[in-house]
Structure 1
Amino acid sequence: MKSKFFRVAVEGQTTDGRAITREQIVDMASTYSPEKYGARIWMEHIRGLYADSSFPALGDVVELKAEEIKDGDLKGKMGLYAAINPTKELLAINEKRQKIYTSIELDPDFAGSGQAYMYGLGVTDSPASLGTEALKFSAEKPNAEKLLASRKNRPENLFSSAMEVHIEMEAESKPEENGLFSKIKELLKRDKAETGAEFGAAIKDQNEAVTLLANEVVALTKKIEGMDGATASAQEISDLMEKFTTVNSELNALKTQLGKEHQHSQRPPATGGDGEVLADC
């Protein structure tokens, strides 16, 4: 699930007094690729070592884009916007108005490429911890470049001033019906038969629908039985089992429905040429 785009950085100062340039904003948007190096979301920029740590990853950055801000106090500045895939924990935290500010983690020379890259995103409660107070502290101390150094991948990397964000999720698009279930729906949408020929065609279509579902159940069963736990992830196995359960339930429900219909349905009586019902002797 992907969020709507929201602004995570603007060209200007960072927590240690240095500046994020317009060129770096554009670089981060154009070079970002989750396949190349995915930026994860961390509470207060702290990376927990264990999955059950107090500081687990809270999601992933899916996409970045750069846009010039059109109005307000920041009009004319280049902004960096992110779409993320947050965990349920991050959504719950944000809904409670906790950790509502974001701060990007920027490498100005990623992998020696000469281009800036966003390699992480921090969420924090107080922008002062990474913004105003941090900048003030940096200005007063000669070793400002060491500020928050323990949380950086490299000393040269930057943390941007924190920005408030409310995470809004994109509406999930309804997947188009296709494949197996589309075929079954097509087979079963025939109106109730009024003539003997139509009645026979409807029964044939219903039988075909049952066969399709039954074949899918068999195929899924074989796939599950042939899965190797060493090569298949727990998520893959779980997804396949869920699909199997759904298809099997559909098959059983369809069998029950058709059984009831057949018990209460009879072939319409034959009629004569003038429309009168003929006796069946």
Structure 2
Amino acid sequence: MKFKSKFFCVATEGATTDGRTITSAWIQQMAKNFNRATYGARVWLEHVRGMLPEGPFQAYGDVIALEARKKDDGKLGLYAQIEPTEALVKMNKARQKIYTSIEVNPEFADTGEAYLVGLAVTDSPASLGTDMLAFTQNNPEGSPLTGRKQDKDNLFSSAVEVELEFEEVNEGSSFSDRIKDVLGKFRKQAVKTDNQLEQVLGAVEEVANHSADLESRFNEFSKNFAGYAAGQETLTKLQESFNEFKAAVEKADASNEKRPPATGGDGKVQTDC
């Protein structure tokens, strides 16, 4: 059984980390550039990249999509969607690991632009708070966080509390899923700047949700129709048999002539003595 999360905010423009500030340009670049085929951002515990598949520091999922959205306060936020492991789903149900922190490479590879390279979950926000991050930046040799970075120039964002909501993934690609995929790509290309655009996207998404219900109803109808079709086939065969029988009857002698009267004697009975 596979799950994916609803989009949740993992960073906001203006947030300070280790003395550096997350800019709106970074957020737009991370949303625009994210591609799992280029570099997959995994979900880690406390930003620790474990080497073994067993144990507490294994990977707990993958980031599968990023979006840049305007928040209610007008600031630009980075929203992530993740595909969790069963272990992370269980943790979330138990209200464990409810804080997240991102790892950003400000100049990824040869692009010169920001890229999300990791996402961490934690129960100790202070371990990834601004004070600890500032200490790491100023004293890289003495901080336990230094060795957890994918690159020494990367930065961790301060941990923020999130509410993760997971939904089961239908393995098949439905019509509504394809519409939502298109919307996600559109949102990446055009960061929402006004309410009118958001209303349009919201309306299209609502149509997609309704189409999912219609698709479910249609599938149920298809099952019922299959049974109806089988019954119809039986009825057709009966009709054909009846037609054959009717044709045979119609070919038979249908005249109303009575049997000719018998010719005999005078009705007297003779006895041979």
Normalising by structure 2, we get a TM-score of: 0.62
Partner of 2:149: 152
Return the match for 1:101 from 99, 103, 107.
Answer: 99
- The SS at the match of 1:33 is coil
- Any idea what the Cα deviations from partners look like across 1:101-138, whole Å, max 9, x if unmatched? 11001000000311000011000112121124425x63
Partner of 1:18: 20
Distance 1:45 1:195, change over 3 A: closer
Partner of 2:163: 166
Q: Is the 1:62–1:83 contact (alpha carbons within 8 Å) kept by the matching residues of 2?
A: yes
Structure 1 residue 143: Cα displacement: 2.6
- The SS at the match of 2:47 is coil
Return the match for 2:113 from 115, 135, 155.
Answer: 115
Q: Distance in 1 between matches of 2:28 and 2:141?
A: 24
The one-letter amino acid of 1:76's match is G
Q: Is the 2:100–2:121 contact (alpha carbons within 8 Å) kept by the matching residues of 1?
A: yes
Partner of 2:66: 64
Distance 1:171 1:87, change over 3 A: closer
Structure 1 residue 19: Cα displacement: 1.1
Partner of 2:81: 83
- Any idea what the Cα deviations from partners look like across 1:213-255, whole Å, max 9, x if unmatched? xxxxxxxxxxxxxxxxxxxxxxxxxxxxxxxxxxxxxxxxxxx
Q: Is the 2:140–2:146 contact (alpha carbons within 8 Å) kept by the matching residues of 1?
A: no
Structure 1 residue 272: Cα displacement: 4.9
Please show how residues 120-131 of structure 1 align to structure 2 within 5 Å. Answer: 120-131=118-129
- Unaligned runs of at least 5 residues, structure 2: 175-214, 216-220, 248-273
Distance 1:270 1:10, change over 3 A: same
Q: Is the 1:192–1:199 contact (alpha carbons within 8 Å) kept by the matching residues of 2?
A: no
Q: Distance in 2 between matches of 1:269 and 1:191?
A: 20
Partner of 1:143: 139
Return the match for 1:29 from 25, 28, 31.
Answer: 31
- The SS at the match of 1:122 is strand
Structure 1 residue 186: Cα displacement: 6.1
Normalising by structure 1, we get a TM-score of: 0.61
Q: Distance in 2 between matches of 1:169 and 1:44?
A: 21
Partner of 1:190: 229
The one-letter amino acid of 1:153's match is Q
The one-letter amino acid of 1:39's match is A
- Residue 8 (1) aligns with residue 10 (2): yes
Structure 1 residue 3: Cα displacement: 1.3
Q: Distance in 2 between matches of 1:63 and 1:26?
A: 13
Q: Is the 1:7–1:79 contact (alpha carbons within 8 Å) kept by the matching residues of 2?
A: yes
- Unaligned runs of at least 5 residues, structure 1: 202-266, 274-281
The one-letter amino acid of 1:105's match is E
Structure 1 residue 11: Cα displacement: 1.6
Distance 1:164 1:142, change over 3 A: closer
- Any idea what the Cα deviations from partners look like across 1:173-205, whole Å, max 9, x if unmatched? 57669xxxx99986543253597643499xxxx
- The SS at the match of 1:114 is coil
Q: Is the 1:103–1:121 contact (alpha carbons within 8 Å) kept by the matching residues of 2?
A: yes
- Any idea what the Cα deviations from partners look like across 1:65-85, whole Å, max 9, x if unmatched? 001212xxxx12211000110
Q: Distance in 1 between matches of 2:234 and 2:147?
A: 80
Q: Distance in 1 between matches of 2:41 and 2:235?
A: 64
- Residue 51 (1) aligns with residue 53 (2): yes
Distance 1:200 1:69, change over 3 A: same
Pairwise CA RMSD: 3.5
Q: Is the 1:106–1:120 contact (alpha carbons within 8 Å) kept by the matching residues of 2?
A: yes
Q: Matched residue pairs, number?
A: 200
- Any idea what the Cα deviations from partners look like across 1:27-85, whole Å, max 9, x if unmatched? 00000001111100000000111111321100000000001212xxxx12211000110
- The SS at the match of 1:2 is strand
The one-letter amino acid of 2:159's match is A
